[in-house]
A = this chain, B = another copy of it.
């Protein structure tokens, strides 16, 4: 085995990702991670300041993509925002299946941690965009169900390729979301209503 550079740091990260998705963040102890890597718990804490820092580094790439999607969304409204949100989120969910699976269960508690600040607001904006910025219950519900469902479900389809999954999810979203054009003309929509 040619293994000049052991890269313990990366191994710990990978093992943590695997364990977190199965047992959850709370349900996985540093001991568990160390056991899978084949090192001591102290070694895990040598490479990472604490358990929270381990999670933060694990989620950093996914969060970065989410942030950039949020930026793309600023200023967009209506059908354009809807489409960008749909494509962006589906792509994000597919690419970071594992990372999202980690966050899945612990969402409400983990959002308090500084590493995940503003995530709630960002996903709120994402949901609004997907709902066509409508406040009708039907649109709001559909958007939230889709976001939550995709987050939940993505981790389950390990047997499906990224492209296939992306396509299926995108067609599902387009079929399920309330189209912003189909709004009953109770409001003229001459300009974007803001605030």
Contacts and interface: CB of A to CB of B under 8 A. Distances in A.
Q: How many identical chains are in the complex?
A: 2
20 contacts: A23-B109, A24-B26, A24-B106, A24-B109, A104-B105, A137-B157, A137-B164, A138-B168, A141-B160, A141-B165, A144-B152, A144-B156, A145-B146, A145-B153, A146-B149, A147-B149, A148-B153, A149-B149, A151-B152, A172-B176
Contacts of A104: 105
Contacts of A137: 157, 160, 164-165, 168
A193 interface: no
A101 to B, nearest CB: 10
Contacts of A116: none
A interface majority secondary structure: helix
Contacts of A168: 137-138, 141-142
